[in-house]
Amino acid sequence: MILKGVNVMITGAAGGIGRHIAGAFASRGANLSLVDMSEESLAPVLEMAKEKGVSAVPVVADITKDEDIERAVRETEVELGSVGVLVNNAGIMPFKTAIDHSPGEIMATLMVNVYGPMRLTQTVLPGMIKSGSGRVVNIGSTFGSLAFPYFSVYSATKSAMRSFSEALRRELQEVKGVGVTYVAPRAVRSTQPPVFFEMAKKMKMSLDEPTKVASVIVRAVEKEESEVYLGGSEKLFMFINKIKPTMVDGGLKKQIEIMKEYSPKMQKK
């Protein structure tokens, strides 16, 4: 897919990875619809787009609300034209035991990580099918294939998006020019609090830079790839998890001890 002049809608565009996704698409000459919760948070991303000489529109919207989703797409169409690429990137990651998640946290995680991306996809996909060109990009996680303790609800949402992407890809097989890309990053140096990085170091967790993840995402869209997973050892663990998941249970015991220690600290922020 050639990205020059294509309108790319990115949710969570002001976030740690989202702003770099926006930058990477802008470097290819794509126009940007930048969706996030506040105008102030989007201002530097908008500035970056201006510097790179592409058209960009900030869209303040909560992707868990149907009326905001419809307005976000409408505003994009008025300002830029139809959405050529949708990047479902906005996400929230509660870190605590399964028992400790409040009902509100469970609901919010399902709504932001699953409901919003599904509804946005439903809203833009008919236009893509009609024009015979477009791509839906869902940002998943390693945890969508290898469910992690203390990330139970988050892992479940990413697993849902992996399934959704797979089913959608199969539904669209006969539609020429329209496709789905699922990208699963491992841990990324993003907007987590300092205590997270302290824990990550203790856990010997490999962290990718957001610029690297963003360039992987853009390349996957250009090459029209179906699924991309980051990290060599993570891919190996995912494979073992598929064939003998109980083997991974034992392998995580040490990590769980560290997460147990850090979970209360992570709630303080």
What distances in angstroms separate CA 218 from CA 1, 174, 204, one per listed residue?
10, 24, 28
Query: What minimum distance in Å lies between the beta carbon of 105 and ligand NAD?
Result: 13
Q: Is 24 in the site for ligand NAD (CB under 6 A)?
A: no
Task: Give 104's contacts (C-beta < 8 A, 6+ positions apart).
Answer: none
Query: What minimum distance in Å lies between the beta carbon of 36 and ligand NAD?
Result: 5
Q: Is 92 in the site for ligand NAD (CB under 6 A)?
A: yes
Query: What minimum distance in Å lies between the beta carbon of 41 and ligand NAD?
Result: 6
What distances in angstroms separate CA 128 from CA 139, 177, 199, 248, one per listed residue?
19, 9, 43, 41
Q: Is 14 in the site for ligand NAD (CB under 6 A)?
A: yes
Which residue has 């905001």 as its token pair? 68
* Nearest alpha-carbon partner for 10 in 136, 159, 140, 165: 136
Q: Is 73 in the site for ligand NAD (CB under 6 A)?
A: no
Q: Is 187 in the site for ligand NAD (CB under 6 A)?
A: yes
Q: Smaller CB distance to ligand NAD: residue 95 or 168?
A: 95
Q: Is 190 in the site for ligand NAD (CB under 6 A)?
A: yes
Verify whether residue 150 is a known catalytic residue: no
Catalytically annotated residue among 115, 154, 229, 262: 154
The full DSSP string for 106-144 is HHHHHIIIIIHHHHHHHHHHHHHHHHT-EEEEEE--GGG
Query: What minimum distance in Å lies between the beta carbon of 64 and ligand NAD?
Result: 5
Residues with active-site annotation: 154
